[in-house]
Structure 1
Amino acid sequence: MTRSIAPVACCLAAACASGSAVRQRADSIAAEVKGARDLNAEVCAPRELAAAEANLRFARLALDQGDSGRADAHLGTAAPAAHEAVARSKECGKQAVVIKNKPEPQAPVAVATTVTARDSDGDGVSDDIDRCPELPGPKENFGCPWPDRDGDKVADREDRCPDEPGSPENQGCPRRATALIVVRRDRIELKQQIHFQPNRARILRDSYEVLDEVAEALRDASVTVRIEGHTDNVGKRKENVTLSQARADA
């Protein structure tokens, strides 16, 4: 009787030892499945996670029924599925971090731009208001050069001889080869008459140069001079006398 009981006891002991090892393996796989869930395997590796969990449950059920062989077979399927779920979840997690840390596109910033009006002749007057866009001129004359009838580069408005070319230094008048005045001991003789507008006391430009020479001669002289103004004999005497005085005062 003793001989027949011994082999059975040995078999039971071996089965218990085998079942314990399978249960430890199941616990190890269960820990790996939990780790996969913590890594968001439900999103990153749902198929692998489901396979691992299902086979892990089947293995535990087989162990409870004392069938360690069938349990071990289910664990053989659960283990690689759990391992793959962990691997996929880790890779998926890295991509999620990269996407999360990717800087959000910023709204375009409006940059103020300055539009410069065209100025073809570079005179500081834009073409849209420049009456002479191809010729430089002052703003006061709407971008056009001042008239210069004699072409001596002295504008008529500043030229004392607007119809006779001269130099800017001589206010647009030519320098005379002969003097316009002669300074005597007791008088200054004018070699050119002083011209006035008809019936007015306004001096004409062509007389400016001779008057400048008179002024230059008187600047350094300590003398008293008498200036006379004349008219023609046309018209009433009283009016001519008044005009003569006005011309002398001019």
Structure 2
Amino acid sequence: MSIPPPTQPPGPPRAVLFDCDGVLADSEGLVNRIVAEDLTARGWRLSGAEAREAFLGMAVPDMLPMIEARVGPLPPRWAHDLSHRIAGAMLAGLEPVPGAVEAVRAVIAAGLPVAVASNSAREELRAKLRRLGLERDFGERVLSFEDVARPKPAPDLYRAAAAACGVPPADCAVVEDSLLGVQAGIAAGCRVFGLTRESPAAVLASLGARPFAAMAELPGLLGLGGAEGKGRA
């Protein structure tokens, strides 16, 4: 049965806050393979798909207790070294989510500020944006879990991103693809649009997001001109 999307306030937002992995960067498969290889070598045998299922949307601080419960204490620099390895892989072979770059630039062309808010580490996040050619588009409005007290699903990242844009959270649109990310955007008081590449539309809608199927639809859904896209529930 189709679940209708939640009611959204009329009119375009005053700022748009983007998640990175799965929204801008088609990075989930690559990151999950690296995490799976590392943990398999430490005794927790995982495939990339199983790593995705276990850790989708999570920041490293929240991953650590789960991992150490399975493999024992990790080296002190484990998180740093893993992030550095992921950053290198991103610079070498990351591709954008189809339509993502164009969507970001359509928002900017409409005169709205944009920000990135990600549960990635800072070095890794910057590497992704550099590879995608979006580093200048976001400027200093790039927020990692290292920049706030609590990662998603806490609202801290999206509240900080809204502040970086100089716009109250209630006037911001968040673009997410994970359950934790949608929860963070809703908790921050933002309007949330849920890209259905990684999570079922019905689940995103049940959390309060407006599901949509492709980044090319986003400018229309935001009311930025042209024919409004139609999300699929």
* TM tier, smaller: under 0.3
TM-score by length of 1: 0.20
TM-score by length of 2: 0.21
Does 1 or 2 have the higher relative contact order (CA < 8 Å, sep 6+)? 2
